[in-house]
Structure 1
């Protein structure tokens, strides 16, 4: 990983979001005290972090994350984010101009760094989600519509022992019920998944 050259922006900037030509998605994380971080693509096509540390105030500061050391974001990229340890660890995911699913990694001691590249997304896909579960170590799941299997969801999962591993989600056995799902009507719905996913923002 390489250190980010993120540059702090002035507070109280009001013209943040694009109003024409393209749209943006937004992801947010917070701790139990209400300290909040918001991630979005600005009208300059860069990805920013908005910091709000006072739940009673509307004053915020901005930090540009997509600098010269970070892969440029695709216009209209979906964005997903997770955090743990009271915002001491944050991960942000987006799609680059060459359709790679890219990770920003933040740690309290190391700041923002370029993280892992998780796969190749289908061109123009707006599908992206991230989940985390922290017990003694982080367990991360990032889902996207891949170019290799666009008919379903590809999920990258992470743990400390194995690192990142990808898998393709398949229609089949419902583990919680202990039986095979036999609803052919539901199975038939999967043929429409590429069209459905191309119009949904999953963050």
Structure 2
């Protein structure tokens, strides 16, 4: 995608959603970190449902330790891999207290040293909590980057590097959210909704998916 088209791509998404935010629900940075760790291989909707009552009483690493691993499991057992995630959340809470005074560090390298926190999770926290220009490449962003031609790459890191290099300054903080939301609700994996996509003319994906009524008339498969 040409640089001018990349700028226009983001401009249109920004015009439709000037203040994009994560769909994870949290009350402070620690809760954000926990929510992002829990969201691996799970939906934001599922995580929000599981953490709603949890976050009413657990707002700090110490309160999480007071709840304990078994107590945490009771809240998150509807989430995939909840046993491993509960263990990691307890361990990262212990490390936050021991090494960071109970605060979430505003440093990606320090974040990735926490149990259960990979590069993607650290990028989300850096962006959402501290306004850093980071690009957390999940399955949605990986798909959008490759399908549209915005940031093609064979690996998650390659797509992240392309986004870091090619995303224009006015859009760098919000890019992560715009791309996730675009992939989640329009540029879907199985049937992208090209007929209502605001950037379809800039996208290299072919053939563009027709509107449902047109597909039925022509006998096209979903």
With the shorter chain as reference, the TM-score category is under 0.3
Higher RCO (Cα < 8 Å, 6 or more apart)? 2
Structure showing the higher strand proportion among its residues? 1
Normalised by the size of structure 1, how large is the TM-score?
0.21
Structure showing the higher helix proportion among its residues? 2
